[in-house]
Chain A
Amino acid sequence: MHRPFTRAWADALREAINSDATYKSAAAKWTWPVALVLEADPALGYEEPVAVELALDRGTCHAATLVAPAAITAPFTLRAAYPVWKQIVTGSLDAVTAVTMGQVKFTGALTTLLLHVNAAKALVGAARLVPTAFPDEAT
C-alpha cells in the first residue's frame, strides 16, 4: 500500500500503467508527458504542493518522477486538491468531467486533451490499480 504522491506510489503507478493493456491501446496516439499536481494539504501531511510527472509515449510510461510543481516541464498539467484526486482515483468522479467542470485545473492544449479523452480515462483506470493507502482513512 502506497501513500499517494510519494516516490513509491509514483513507481507503482508507472508499473500499473505499463502492465495495463487497456491503457496501452487507448493511449496508442498519446505522445506527451503529463504532470499530476496535488495541492498542499498540511492536515494530511502534504506541506507543499507536489507533482508526479509521467513520461508517457504511445501507451508506455517511461518514467514517473516526483517533482516540485515549479520544476514541471510537461506540456499538460492536471492540478487538484486531495479530495478531488481521491474521488477520481476511487472512481466516484470522472477525470474529464472534473476538468470540464473546473474541479481539476488544467493547463495545456485542451483541444488535444479532448481529442484523446479515452487515453485520459484509461490513465485514470491504471491509477485505480495502484494499491493506495489514503491518508485521510484510519489505518
Chain B
Amino acid sequence: MPLTRDQAASKYFQLYANSKRLAWDPASVDVRADIAQWSRIKAEHGDIDATTQLLQLIALFHAGEESVTTTLAPYVGAAARTNAGLDVEMFLASQLYEEAKHFEFFDRYVKEVVGPDAAGMDRFLPGPPQQVLIDDLAEVSERLRREDDPVLLRATFVEAITHYMGVVEAMLARTGYRGAHEALTLRGWLPGLQEGFRLIRRDEGRHVAFGIHFIADACARDESMRAIVQRTFERHLPNVLGTVASFVYPHPLVDVEQLQGYAIGAYQQFMAAAGLADDAAAAQALVLELDESV
C-alpha cells in the first residue's frame, strides 16, 4: 500500500528523510589524535582527575546508547500495533539504526582511545543512572512489547515515548552534550570525541523532535495522555537530577549547578514544545536548536 499523501508530507516522514540525508559512519570518525591526547591529559591534569571525569561521561553515554539500542525495537512494533502510521514506523526504524551507530561509536572509542583506563567503568552506573537509563527503560520497553490490550497499549506507548525521547534524550542526553561541550570543546580536548558528539547530537535532535511531535499528537487526540506524560516525568526527574549531581568533583571540569539548571531548562523546553506547558519562549528556544540539527 503506498504512503498516503499526508504520511509522505508528515513531520515523521521528513525526519526520516533527514536521517538518510545526514547519515554518517562511526567507523570513519578519526580518533587518532585522541589516543595521544588521552595520555597527555591524564599526565598533565591528573591532579584534578580529568580523565576520570571524562571516563564517567563516556561510560554513561556508552551504557546509555547500548540501552536505547536494545530497548527501541518494541517501539517499532507498538507503532504497527497501534496503527500509528507507516511514517512513524519508518522514522523509528531509522532511529534504531542510528542508536546502534551511536553505541558503535562509543564502544570503538572506549576500545581504541580509553584502552586499559576503561577497566571498571561500570562503577559509574549504580544508582540514578542505572535506574533511569537502563533498568526503568528496559522495564517500560518490555511492558510495551507484552501489552495486548489496545487501550492500555496506547497509554503505555505514550509512557514509553515520554521516558525514552523525553526523559532520556531531551533531558539527560542534551544535558550530557552540554557537559561535553564545556569539558571538551572549550578546552580543545579530544577532537575525535568532539566530532562523535557533534554527529550524535545532530541525530538526537531528530529523535527529540519525533518525541515532541508524537506526544503533542497523542495529547491532542486524547487529553488523558497529558497525565501520563506528567506522571512519567515525575517518576524519573529525581534520577535525572541525581545523574547530573553525580558529576560533582573537587575540581570539576563542568559546573554541576549550571548543568542542573540546563537540565531543568531542557525539561521546561520539552514540555512547552509538546504543548504541555505554557511557555512560548522555552518552546521557541528548543525548536530553534532542533532546527539546526535536523
User: Which A positions have Cβ atoms within 8 angstroms of B?
Assistant: 29, 94, 96-97, 100-102, 109-111, 114-115, 117
**B277 at interface by CB-CB < 8 Å:** yes
Q: Is the CB of B234 within 8 A of A101?
A: no
Q: Which residues of B from 203 to 256 have beta carbons under 8 Å from A?
A: 230, 233-234, 237-238, 241, 244-245, 248, 256
How far apart sit A96 and B265, CA to CA, in the bound complex (Å)?
12
From known contacts A97-B261, A109-B234, infer whether A114 and B267 are also in contact, taking CB-CB under 8 Å. Answer: yes
Residues of B in contact (CB 8 Å), total 21
Shortest A92–chain B CB gap in Å is 12
Shortest B272–chain A CB gap in Å is 9
Q: Is the CB of B245 within 8 A of A114?
A: no
Residue of B nearest to A29 (CB): B278
Q: Is the CB of B264 within 8 A of A96?
A: yes
Complex partner residue of B234 from A96, A97, A102, A111, CB under 8 angstroms: A111
**B268 at interface by CB-CB < 8 Å:** yes
Q: Is the CB of B271 within 8 A of A97?
A: no
From known contacts A29-B278, A101-B245, infer whether A114 and B257 are also in contact, taking CB-CB under 8 Å. Answer: no
How far apart sit A97 and B259, CA to CA, in the bound complex (Å)?
10
What residues of B have a CB within 8 angstroms of the CB of A114 in the complex?
A: 237, 264, 267-268
Residue of A nearest to B241 (CB): A100
Apart from A100-B264, A115-B279: 16 A-B pairs, beta carbons within 8 A: A94-B257, A96-B264, A97-B257, A97-B260, A100-B241, A100-B260, A101-B241, A101-B260, A102-B245, A111-B233, A111-B234, A114-B268, A115-B267, A115-B271, A115-B277, A117-B264
What residues of B have a CB within 8 angstroms of the CB of A102 in the complex?
A: 245
Residue of B nearest to A115 (CB): B277
User: Which B positions have Cβ atoms within 8 angstroms of A?
Assistant: 230, 233-234, 237-238, 241, 244-245, 248, 256-257, 260-261, 263-264, 267-268, 271, 277-279
What residues of A have a CB within 8 angstroms of the CB of B238 in the complex?
A: 110
15 interchain pairs, CB-CB under 8 A: A29-B278, A97-B260, A100-B241, A100-B244, A100-B245, A100-B263, A101-B248, A101-B256, A109-B234, A110-B234, A111-B234, A111-B267, A115-B268, A115-B271, A117-B264
